[in-house]
Structure 1
Amino acid sequence: MKSHNRHPVTNSAQKAFKKEIRDAIKGVSSGFLFGIPLLYTMEVWWIGSYAEPLQMLIALLTNFVVVFLLIRTEGFRGTTDTKIRDASIDSIETLAIGFICTALTLVLLRQIDLNTSINEAVGKIIFESVPFTLGVAVANSFLSGDREGGTNTPPSSSPQSKTAEINATLADVGATSIGALFIAFTIAPTQEIPMLASAMTPPWLLATIAASLLISYGIVFVAGLTNQARRYQQQGLFHRPINETLVAYIISLMAGLLMLWFFHQLSLEDPWTVWLSHAIVLGLPATIGGAAGRIVV
């Protein structure tokens, strides 16, 4: 009898664990959508580098209060009747998600390394994580969607289906381009891209590519944001998640290069290695912008 009663408990625990992971992924994805532009802002790096402990504490407490109020309204779990104790726990978890993702991104961008002092690293993480944690907190309010109902419907060979495939492909290419251009336009004119690219060695560039693809895939196909179920029914070049992620990344890189050339950050005289490194560095936020564009079409 005891072994027979374990299965409902186990299934319930598994469902709760899966929901917890899904909520965390949704929060991370929303955090990147909100926080990536500020992560490419050197003025915030400097503020974090020279902030005093008291300033860090004030920023941390202020961030916690705002996140707590957002969680009480409707946090990334989608619960409107959250008790104060539960909201406090969720707020701490939200801050933790923001701190971890911000720290990993700053390490990826070479703004935190083994030579960075603890005080400087903590300051950068606290100040850079503010929009990130706000994005995590409002994930369900602004970017929730139904994960269910998505099926991998095979495309038909009828003329109407071919036309639908072309239209769907053009819509996704357009949405990706608009989202990528929007983010790249705000970052490309700044000096952050050349500064970051100059510090990137090939292994770090490869890591940035991997992070861009992983975050893009998570936002569109894992996090359950907006109309995610429809993404699995797309046809054309974007019919499968892996294809969509790779094609969208290439489009985002092209959008980033266009903006870098437009703002005279790159010229035809520059070697291809400079073009490549700049494109990969700007490709991270541009890819996130492209993913944002696709989840709202």
Structure 2
Amino acid sequence: MIKSRNRHTPSNSARQAFKREIRDAIRGASSGFLFGIPLLYTMEVWWIGSYAEPLPMLIALLTNFVVVFLLIRTEGFRGTVDTKIRDALMDSIETLAIGFVCTALLLVLLRQIDLATSINEAVGKIIFESVPFSLGVAVANSFLSGDRERGNNAPQSASPQSKTAAINATLTDVGATAIGALFIAFTIAPTQEVPMLASAMTPPWLLATIAVSLLISYGIVFVAGLTNQANRYQQKGLFHRPIDETLVAYIISLTAGLLMLWFFHQLSFEDPWTVWLSHTIVLGLPATIGGAAGRIVV
């Protein structure tokens, strides 16, 4: 029996190590989305990436790598600090890889990279757009990690006071989501990027944008282990289940984005409802990430 237990120990250790690796990667990617999404809606960066020559791209890549390496040496995206140079180098490469993958996926989603895009243009866009993503991944643990154990055993109460607390918690979540969504949407709504992106969106891509928005929001708040994730699972609001909260927060973020588009005259009542819908969904992606950021800090 002892031999049997020992025989299974390496497998269990490998499984735990794999789970930690996945959790660290999700935390890093979530932090990357928080840092990188505003620049992704900047057409000037698309143009720079589109026309960049190999040498500037290489310089940008090496500069990004050096900055990421220094951040990783300070305190990277993992739960533990790497003190060995070799480990920090490997984590820096992984950080850049996470930034590249997140950037590439969103550029494809936003129709800035497709089958007609040349390799040089696609690589240039990914390299320049991935800089804030990579920096966000690198500082995930330093600025956004939290105690994932705290609050797991919080007692639940059905007293009248708990109902009042639930209402207050719900209002706090709604306010934090709205503030975060408005903050991001306010900076993007006046620009021409939203109409430009929306014009290239067909219904399947709009549905994909909705799905990605919900997935990123859920990952940031309930999976990545950022700040008060344990407390989020224990929160007593009326929409206390993670899926319910994610859906409600998405609707709030869409509303915030729609209001900003109308406020900056990007939408008018003469426009067809399809234009309102496409513009709102496109702006809803960064607004939802902003709403998730608002919820993880309350």
For normalisation by structure 1, the TM-score amounts to 0.97
Deviation at 1:4, TM superposition (A): 3.5
Gaps of 5+ in 2: none
Corresponding residue for 1:236?
237
By how many angstroms is 1:8 displaced? 1.7
Separation in 2 of the partners of 1:2 and 1:88? 38
Equivalent residue for 2:30? 29
**Hey, what's the Cα distance between the residues in 2 that align with 1:152 and 1:272?**
47
Is the aligned partner of 1:260 residue 2:266?
A: no
CA shift, 1:268, in A, is 1.0
Query: 1:176 corresponds to which residue?
Result: 177
Match of 2:11 in 1: 10
Unpaired runs of at least 5, structure 1: none
What TM-score results when the alignment is normalised by the length of structure 2? 0.97
1:197 corresponds to = 198
The aligned residue for residue 20 of structure 1 is: 21
User: Residues 233, 20 of structure 1: CA spacing in aligned structure 2 closer, same or farther, 3 A cutoff?
Assistant: same
Residues 1:60 and 2:61 are matched in the alignment: yes
Q: Distance in 2 between matches of 1:141 and 1:180?
A: 24
Matches within 5 A, 1:137-148: 137-148=138-149
Secondary structure, aligned partner of 2:234: coil
Secondary structure, counterpart of 1:237 in structure 2: coil
Q: Conserved in 2, the CA contact under 8 Å of 1:237 and 1:243?
A: no
Deviations 1:119-150 (A, max 9, x none): 00000000000000000000000001022245
Partner of 2:50: 49
Q: Distance in 2 between matches of 1:13 and 1:245?
A: 32
| 1:84-103 equivalences in 2 (<5 Å) | 84-103=85-104
CA distance in 1, matches of 2:181, 2:270: 25
Aligned to 2:119: 118
Separation (CA, whole Å) in 2 of partners of 1:296 and 1:160? 24
Secondary structure of 2:238's match? helix
Equivalent pairs: percent with the same residue? 89
- Between the aligned partners of 1:16 and 1:4, the Cα distance in structure 2 is 18
Q: How many residues align?
A: 297
Equivalent residue for 1:158?
159
- The amino acid that maps onto 1:286 is A
Residues 72-87 of structure 1 aligned to structure 2 (within 5 Å): 72-87=73-88
Please name the residue that 2:135 is paired with: 134
Q: Which residue of 2 aligns with 1:246?
A: 247
Q: What is the Cα deviation at residue 9 of structure 1?
A: 1.2
Q: What are the superposed Cα offsets for residues 57-90 of structure 1, whole Å, 9 maximum, x if unpaired?
A: 0000000000000000100014334211111100
Structure 1 residue 235, shift from structure 2 partner = 1.8
For the Cα contact (< 8 Å) 1:253–1:286, is it kept in 2?
yes
Deviations 1:84-138 (A, max 9, x none): 1111100000000000110000000000000000000000000000000000000
**Larger mean Cα displacement after TM superposition, 253-262 or 157-166:** 157-166
Q: In the aligned structure 2, how far is the partner of 1:141 from the partner of 1:4?
A: 37
Find the aligned partners of 2:81 and 2:54 in 1 and give their Cα distance.
Answer: 35
What do the CA deviations read for 1:259-289 (whole angstroms, capped 9, x no partner)?
Answer: 0001000011111111110110000000000
User: Match for 2:137: what amino acid?
Assistant: V
Partner residue, 1:270:
271
